[in-house]
Amino acid sequence: MRLKSSYVVAIGIVLFAALLFAVGSLSGGKKDKADAKAAAAAAKPAGPPSVQVQVTPETLHRYTVTIRGRTEAARSVVVRSETAGSVAAVPSLEGSFVRKGAILCKLNVDARQAAVDQARAQVRAQQLTQQASVELARKGYRSQTQVLQAQAGLDNAQAILRQAEVGLEQTNIRAPFDGVFDKRDAEIGAYLAPGQSCGTMIELDPLLIVGDLPETETGRLRVGAAGKALLLSGETLSGQVRYLSHEADAQTRTYHVEVTTRNPGLKVRSGLSATVKIDAGQGPAHLAPVSALVLDAAGRQGVRYVQDNDVVAFAPVTVIEETPEGVWVSGLHGQVRLITVGQS
């Protein structure tokens, strides 16, 4: 039986449609399988992150405490007048070095020299009276009481002379120690009452380097410890701790520390800024790169390291010293594998 041409066309269309459906089903299944594999791969947990470590051994290292300080005169004294009078001369130049006893300001003598001369004459008269009284007593013409009265008169005259000499000497206002006459407060013709200033003397040899020590560092220092100060000019001064206060400043909670050093030739002036490093003994420490320092959630400074079981841990540390090679820290024990890269 021969089919009509219209049936043949219809059958062809049906077969073609069935073929397309079969092909689509096969390709869709493959795509679903690929998507499933990709999702499974994404859901699979990643391996542990890789980090770079640096093995750092424990080393016996000298501890130093670093503070910001300044140079200061060992002594600074306002030299004042002990008597009244007008200034007659100022022999010492302001800013010059003077020896102990040098005259800084000289007051007018006025009648003080006359008082000394009168007292000396009275002493001579009393000496003659006393000598005569002793001679007469030896011959029996004077009693022992009269001899003692003559001696008392001589003693009184000598006391008046010493008083007059002191009053005369007080017109010379002298340097109390070797140092620099840093500031003159009185000029020729000025009147000075007792207690008024002639000028200020400062002692620069020895010289002090002073600063304030945090309370966390006080337990490390002791009087006599070696100290070294680096000035802004690049000059280095070496000395020893001579004083460490026992009471903290009420506002800053710091302790005052003084390092004394020699200053030959008075080359270093008072008031210069300095970085002071003081020896605080020695103990275990580790040299760590700066990149190893991190902060934990509580804000503590420390390092992250890899434990023996390959687990990362955090250890708080204290920076002892900063060097071009890295920072010396305390707080670690034994050989440590510090994490330098990959800490986040």
Q: What is the mean pLDDT of residues 1-6?
A: 53
Identify the residue with better confidence: 14 or 249.
249
Name the one residue in this structure whose structure tokens are 């300095």: 274
Given this model, what pLDDT does residue 16 score? 62
What whole-number distance in Å separates Cα of residue 103 and Cα of residue 89?
Answer: 9
Crossing angle of the two packed helices 144-169 and 112-139, in degrees rounded to 10: 160
Cα-Cα-Cα-Cα dihedral of 140, 145, 151, 157, to 10°? -130
- Report the pLDDT value the prediction gives residue 85, as an integer from 0 to 100: 94
Residue 319, H or E segment: strand 318-323
Contacts of 169 (CB under 8 A, 6+ apart): none
Q: Going along 170-296, which residue ranges are E strands? A: 172-174, 179-184, 191-192, 197-214, 226-231, 236-244, 254-261, 273-288, 293-295
How far is 144 from 175, CA to CA, in rounded Å? 48
In angstroms, rounded to a whole number, what is the distance separating the alpha carbons of residues 165 and 33?
A: 120
Q: Residue 136: left (phi > 0), alpha (psi -120 to 50), or beta? A: alpha
Taking residues 139-151, what's their average pLDDT?
Answer: 90
Average per-residue pLDDT in the chain?
86
Share of the chain above pLDDT 90, in %: 58
Global model pTM greater than 0.85: no
Question: Scanning the structure block, which residue is given the tokens 């026992």?
Answer: 246
Mean pLDDT throughout 158-167? 95
Q: How would CATH label the architecture of 79-200?
A: Beta Barrel (2.40)
Give the pLDDT of residue 291.
86
Virtual CA dihedral for 198, 200, 201, 203, nearest 10 degrees?
170
Q: What is the DSSP string of 157-178?
A: HHHHHHHHHHHHHTTEEE-SSS
In angstroms, rounded to a whole number, what is the distance separating the alpha carbons of residues 192 and 329? 60
Q: Which residues contact 292 (CB under 8 A, 6 or more apart)?
A: 54, 303, 304, 338, 339, 340
Quote the pLDDT of residue 120.
Answer: 95
Please, what is the end-to-end C-alpha distance for the chain in angstroms?
83
Question: Domain limits of the chain?
Answer: 79-200
The pLDDT of residue 47 is above 80: no
Cα separation, 129 vs 138, whole angstroms: 14
Place of tokens 């130093």: 64
Tens of pLDDT, residues 270-304: 999 999 999 988 888 999 998 889 998 888 999 99
Helix or strand holding residue 72 (H, E): strand 59-80
Tens-digit pLDDT profile for residues 247-262: 999 899 999 999 999 9
Q: For residue 336, which of 282, 283, 287 has the smallest C-alpha distance? A: 287
Helices (H), the chain: 5-43, 112-139, 144-169
Q: What pLDDT, in 10s, does the model give residues 178-201?
A: 999 999 999 999 999 999 999 999
Which residues make Cβ contacts (< 8 Å) with residue 78, sequence separation at least 6? 197, 199, 200
Q: Looking at the predicted structure, is the pLDDT value of residue 324 above 90? A: no
How far, in Å, CA of 83 to CA of 168, rounded? 9
Do residues 240 and 280 make contact, with C-beta atoms less than 8 angstroms apart? no
Structural contact between residues 79 and 198, judged by C-beta atoms closer than 8 angstroms = yes
